[in-house]
Structure 1
Amino acid sequence: MSTVVQQVTKNQLSTLQKKYQNYLLGKTPPYSLFSAKKNGVTITAYNSGKVVFQGNNAESEAAACGLTTTPSAPTKKAKSAHSTNRLPADFDTWSVLGSDEVGNGSYFGPLVTVAAYAEKSQLNTLKALGVKDSKLLTDPQIQTIAKKLITIIPYQPLVLTPEKYNQVQQQHNAVAMKVLLHHQALTLLQQKLVSTPQAILIDAFTTEKNFQQYLHKEQRSFSLPTYFVTKGEQHHLAVAAASIIARHLFLEALKEESAACGVLLPSGAGNKSDQVAVKLLEQGGLPLLGRYAKLHFANTEKALKLWRK
């Protein structure tokens, strides 16, 4: 299946809506003007002017609309983008915007992305508070530190509930989703700051090339020098702080969702998650499960088989 993405004007959007008025689908993704299906191609037009053609005949369908299917020439890589393995020697002393996400590997609970700003004058305070790689901390320690941390540093959380996650996942794969969330969290936080960070550090969940390609496809970019590293929380306290806050918010959301559905929702995606999913299916079928679980996980099929026995 191929995908063609085009940016069009408001007039073109209106013309396309009329063209596909006899092929409209009942459900439309968030922020979209319409969604239609013709000749095996799904056409989704967004209010932003972006139109996505998906299917084996995506190129020909886009061409039939008078839209070019030749990919636009990629812009030169911004001078602000830097190699993942070339952090300056004193980078851990810089004032940095960092981001991380939690919940991506958990069947239940939201996907939480957090951007945090650690100014150089605050680094010693953060160390004294116990901020470090969240994988070296227990959940109780994380929650204790996070409650103090959110009163000290600027941060921007984005919490994608399972229900919202399932909607977005129909249009974006997991990597694209995280790229957009990281970009939005970092951009929103940067706009709130009085001082200017020296750089952005992203805990790499994909290659830098992939990240930049997804950003380019969505016509987005960063205005600051941007670095991508694996285990980013070990390279700067900004990412460590973002990770701690994200884990705290994830645990709090999981607790609230457990109370709402009357079942203790586990973290992770093991056999325990399958058993809990069966309980939710028994209570309200797939619609209820979709309010608390990320349905594209393999756990869903396993739970459905157990439920139908």
Structure 2
Amino acid sequence: MANHVIKATKMMIDEMRQHYASYITDHLPTGALFVAKLAGCTITAYRSGKVLFQGKEAEREAARWTNESVKESVPVQQPHWTAVSAIGSDEVGTGDYFGPIVVVAAYVAKENIETIKNMGVKDSKLLTDEAIRRLAPSLMKAIPYCSVVLSNPTYNEWQASGMPQTKMKALLHNEAIRKLVQQLAPLEPEAILIDQFIERDLYFRYLEGEKEVICERVYCYPKAETIHVAVAAASMIARYVFLNEMEQLSKQVGMELPKGAGEQVDQVAAKLMETHGLSVLDTCAKLHFANTDKARRIAHI
């Protein structure tokens, strides 16, 4: 079994914990902060700052973080993109136990960039849900966009088949971008910027075999919302759609579903199982998260 070790900062380990939230297990070796088990790779982060990658995909998964650490310290060498007509694409819901994954592609023409910025558009993670609900409807009327929602039953089906979440996101981003490109035609964006969740080469590798893959002028960058306001707009609309989906799911199961993947989530999942049985979680949750087992223990199921 291949092993690969990297030295990570506390900030990077925190980013890893968030990135791998859906794969984290309860069993920790001595000195470990978290253990995440992916298909083909197990990641163990230690208090010492060392992160161990084990498995056939160890080198590739480790390279994702070593490459990102370099990119974080070097300014993106595409400053002219801030003033071009571009599509931005971003996703939400990947680290939430309850709710779907939502991907949105949004287009901002260069002549509208300042107008959109003046609307208060920024990365959704920097805004409260209340602010998102207030700002997003006007934004959605002002720019072209397309959203794709991966429901929980379909997510669970794909995950059970062995599909990694990164491939799911690649498929969803391509679909949202494809639909928006089709909607904009014959107009063509000067750039298509994806908020990076994986290296560009692996992104396209995941899309091999798909009927329609948007390849031209597609770039993946970390913190892409700082490069072009279209990515920030996409993140805000995606969050708005996700919040609405969560409302509908809450009504469907008769209980308010919390966001995230913390202890409160475990308690609500346990109550759902006690009320409706284990099968209810397939309709509203990502079953492979560690929260499922925690909730079962709470509910004694």
Question: Do both share a fold (TM > 0.5)?
Answer: yes
Give the corresponding residue for 2:153. 163
- The equivalent of 1:242 in structure 2 is 234
> Are 1:149 and 2:139 matched, yes or no?
yes
2:277 match: secondary structure? helix
Q: Which has the higher helix share?
A: 2
Task: Give secondary structure in 1 for the equivalent of 2:283.
Answer: coil
Aligned-partner SS, 2:299: helix
Counterpart for residue 132 of structure 1: 122
- Which of the numbers 171, 178, 201 marks the counterpart of 2:169? 178
1:193 maps onto 2:145 in alignment: no
Q: TM-score, normalised by structure 1?
A: 0.70
CA distance in 2, matches of 1:302, 1:186: 37
1:165 Cα offset (Å): 1.4
CA contact (8 A) 1:198 1:224 kept: no
Q: Which amino acid aligns with 1:295?
A: L
Q: Distance in 2 between matches of 1:249 and 1:157?
A: 8
CA–CA distance in structure 2, aligned partners of residues 87 and 294 of structure 1:
37
Q: Are the equivalent residues in 1 in contact too, given 2:178–2:212 (CA < 8 A)?
A: no
Of the three residues 97, 110, 122, the one matched with 2:100 is 110
In 2: Cα distance, 1:203 partner to 1:166 partner: 24
Deviation at 1:291, TM superposition (A): 0.8
Contact 1:146 1:244 in 2 (8 A): yes
Seen in structure 2, the aligned counterparts of structure 1 residues 110 and 157 have a Cα distance that, compared at 3 Å, is same
Q: Aligned ranges for residues 1-309 of structure 1 at < 5 Å?
A: 87-171=77-161, 172-194=163-185, 195-216=187-208, 218=210, 221-308=213-300
Taking structure 2 as the reference length, what is the TM-score of the superposition? 0.72
The separation in 2 between residues aligned to 1:87 and 1:123, in whole angstroms, is: 20
Coordinate RMSD, CA, aligned? 2.3
CA contact (8 A) 1:142 1:248 kept: yes
Question: Would you say the 8 A contact 1:87–1:227 is kept in 2?
Answer: no
Deviation for aligned residue 1:86: 5.2
Q: Who wins on radius of gyration, i.e. which is larger?
A: 1
> Gapped runs of 5+ residues in structure 2?
1-70
Quick check: 1:114–1:158 contact (8 Å CA) kept in 2?
yes
Fraction of identical pairs, as percent: 45
Tell me which moved more, 214-223 or 182-191.
Answer: 214-223
- Number of aligned pairs? 230
Deviation at 1:220, TM superposition (A): 5.2
Letter in 2 for 1:277: A
Measure how far apart 1:125 and its partner are.
1.1
Deviations 1:123-157 (A, max 9, x none): 11101111112222111111111110110111000
- Contact (CA 8 Å) 1:117, 1:155: kept in 2 or not? yes
Q: Which residue of 2 aligns with 1:32?
A: none
How many angstroms apart in 2 are the aligned matches of 1:231 and 1:144?
24
Q: Report the counterpart of residue 9 of structure 2 in structure 1.
A: none
CA contact (8 A) 1:91 1:236 kept: yes
4+ residue runs of structure 1 moved beyond 3 angstroms?
A: 84-87, 217-221
In structure 1, what residue type is equivalent to 2:150? L
Confirm or deny: 8 A CA contact 2:104 2:145 kept in the other structure: yes
CA distance in 2, matches of 1:224, 1:121: 22
Deviations 1:15-54 (A, max 9, x none): xxxxxxxxxxxxxxxxxxxxxxxxxxxxxxxxxxxxxxxx
